[in-house]
Amino acid sequence: MLPPSEPSLSALASAGVQAYSSDERKLLLQIARESISSFLAGQDISLPAPSPHLAEPRGVFTTLYSDRKLRGCVGFPAAVLPVYRAVMESARAAACEDPRFPPVRLEEARMIRISISVLSPLQPTSPDEIEIGRHGLVVSQGLQRGLLLPQVPVEHGWSRVTFLEQTCLKAGLPPDAWRNGARIEAFTAEVFGDPDSP
């Protein structure tokens, strides 16, 4: 049972507010880019002192694109780090530790486009509550767990059922595990990025 202070899924669905200002978004994108380039150059990153808002823990995923194609995506589903540090760590990991792609090269880094997704708390949900384009999903069973961001089913034109099946597959579960006892959780995300990112 989640603490009662956390919003319900219906509250998340109607929460279209922008939590981060234009300046905060620019700063987080700057942190992501500098984290990647500093790591690739073997240098330490120098960060400005974050505002109290950017020091609040949030779940974060950083997605990288090259020529409008996915180049890496890594993140923290739970709020385990301050948002600015979660962006810094996830950007570096997306560039260098996503096992689906070779590490980003230093000469490639300036062409990379960055998208940041700041996640709401996870909420248990039922399949019929899921809204394509608004909710991301986490499906888990035992030690297996898969997450897909809200923008993924939109990019692929998936139905709700396909979204659930693909999240199961991401967890390494059978595609119908969501019908057979797997835990389904939903979240929303505030997504922003470079002008040319999908």
Spans of the chain below 50 pLDDT = 1-16
Report the pLDDT value the prediction gives residue 6, as an integer from 0 to 100.
Answer: 33
Contact indicator for 130, 114 with CB cutoff of 8 Å:
no
Question: What is the model's pLDDT at position 197?
Answer: 64
Number of C-beta neighbours around residue 123 at 10 A = 22
Q: What is the pLDDT of residues 68-80, one digit of tens each?
A: 899 999 999 999 9
Give the Cβ contact number of residue 106 at 10 Å: 13
Q: Are 171 and 146 in contact (CB under 8 A)?
A: yes
Predicted pLDDT at 50: 81
Quote the CA–CA distance of 193 and 47 in Å, as a whole number: 19
Residue 63 and residue 72 in contact, taking contact as beta carbons nearer than 8 Å: yes
What tokens appear for 102 in the block? 């070779």
Read off the pTM: 0.82
* Helix and strand counts by DSSP (H, E) for the chain: 6, 8
Go through the domains of the chain in sequence order and give each one's CATH number.
21-119 (3.30.700.20), 123-187 (3.30.1490.150)
pLDDT at residue 4 in the model: 26
Q: Tokens 């990025």 — which residue?
A: 193
What is residue 198's predicted lDDT score, i.e. its pLDDT? 64
Question: What pLDDT shows up at residue 20?
Answer: 93
pLDDT at 45: 83
* Bridge pairing between strands 144-148 and 69-76: unpaired
